[in-house]
Amino acid sequence: MSNDTCHCILLRKATRKVSSYYDEALAPLGVNIGQFSLLRNIRRMEPVSLTDLAHKVELDRSTVGRNAKVLERMELIAIGHGEDQREAVLTIAPKGREILEKGAPLWDGVQDDIEARLGHEKARQLQDLLAEL
C-alpha cells in the first residue's frame, strides 16, 4: 500500500490542511483551533472537571490539563477546585468569553468555505464517513 492510498496518511494530511484553515482564521485572536475548540467545550460544560472534559474531548487527562494551564496563563479560563479539592474545575474567564464571541463568526466562515469547496452533499457524506470511524 503506497502513501497515496494509506488511510492514515491521507487523513493526517487532510487534518493538517483543515487545521491550518481554522488556525489562520483564528490567528488575529491569538488562539489556534485546538485552544478554541477546548474553550467551546469548557463553555458547554462549565463548570467542568478536568476528568469530565478529557472524557468529552477524548484526550488523555494530562494532555487536557497541560492545555488548560496554557489557557489559564492566557487568562481565558479559570482553574478552581470542586468539592473534592484534588479535582480541578474549569470555567471560562471574561477574556475567554470575548474570544469565543469574536471567534464564532471566524469559525463559521471556515465551516462555510469547506462546505463550499466540497458541496453540501459531499460535506455531509464526509461527516457521516468520519463519524463511523
Q: What is the pLDDT of residue 89?
A: 94
- pTM to 2 decimals? 0.87
- Residue 1 confidence (pLDDT) above 70: no
Cell matching residue 77: 479560563
How many Å apart are CA 99 and CA 29, to the nearest integer? Answer: 7
Q: Note the pLDDT of residue 5.
A: 82
Q: Answer whether 113's CB lies under 8 Å from 21's CB.
A: yes
Strands (E), 15-98: 48-49, 77-81, 88-92
pLDDT given for residue 81 in this prediction: 85
Predicted pLDDT of residue 87: 83
Angstrom distance (rounded) from CA 33 to CA 107: 9
pLDDT at 3 (0 to 100): 61
Q: How confident is the model at residue 92 (pLDDT cuts 50, 70, 90)?
A: very high
Backbone angles phi, psi at 79, to 5 degrees: -110, 115
From residue 113, how far is each of 15, 58, 60, 88, 103 by CA, in Å?
A: 15, 27, 31, 37, 15
Confidence category of residue 133, pLDDT binned at 50, 70, 90: confident
Under the banding of pLDDT at 50, 70 and 90, the label for residue 82 is: confident
Per the listing, cell 487545521 goes with 19
Domains defined along the chain, listed by start:
7-132 (1.10.10.10)
**In this predicted model, what pLDDT tens digit does every residue of 15-53 receive, in sequence order?**
999 999 999 999 999 999 999 999 999 999 999 999 999
